[in-house]
Structure 1
Amino acid sequence: MSLKQDEWEKHFEDLEMKTFGKNALIVMRDQSIQLLQKISSEPKAIKGGMWASLQTKEPLFGGLFLLNDQMVFIGGTPKESQLKTFEWNWGNITKFDKLEDTKLGITKFLDMNIGGQKLRISGLKGFVPLSFILILEKIWFDQLSNN
């Protein structure tokens, strides 16, 4: 394993995107790293991340990553071996809504509007981690204030 691969794997752990020894998550992590290296050569460019489900016609499972200039989802379905990559510049995201479960005190989903299209994202364990939301809000508000 290369030093660079080790850096990326450690960064995934730092982002709390743990694999829990599960082969599917290890494969997803390794494939995501390969695709993220095409976007940025440095792991630290990824400011936030979480295992997520992107609700499309057929739900996609993968990683949602936050960079200073864009948000990236890399994922697929169990039937497909090839991952799909979706990239959204912050300027194209017009709105975020958090759908919260007030009894449990968690955010269950994130809805976002991108150019009139609504996308729903949920976390791996049925909620969106607060640490991810805080990073997302900081980057998005910073982008809004710079425009």
Structure 2
Amino acid sequence: MSTQDKDSSRTANAFTCQIEGAEAFSFPLVTAFRTQRIAITGADEIPADQDMYKIEFTLDNDIVTAEYNLGHPKVRVDTVTGKANLRYTPSSMTLKLTVDPSAKSVSGVYAIDTVQDYGGVITPGIKLNGHFAVNYIDS
């Protein structure tokens, strides 16, 4: 996995997350690649029992500037927790995207509600919100 060098001529990729009302944090690993789809990932280096280890948005290559919701065919979201045997599955999402294909840049503001999956039992999960700004690389 590669990330863009912060000293490159492009703007460094950034991806933030806030869980419930806690202080927002930035994911130290941010990647953005385009193959059949554009994959934008914010992740931590070590999962180590964290509520949110990774968030990944996967977008169709022909995505445009607009607001998208969970279930839209051009947008997928996946959340990964670092807590053993626990999963936070998105139950609703709003994603406001700004897309510039000529600059290979995508920025977005998101709000995600989740449900907690543990051993087959589903209970209320956590609320996530944040933003990202990336320049994707063709691979």
User: Considering the TM-score relative to the shorter chain, is it more than 0.5?
Assistant: no
More contact order relative to length (CA 8 Å, sep ≥ 6): 2
TM-score normalised by structure 1 residue count: 0.32
Q: Which has the higher helix share?
A: 1
Q: Which has the higher strand share?
A: 2
TM-score normalised by structure 2 residue count: 0.34
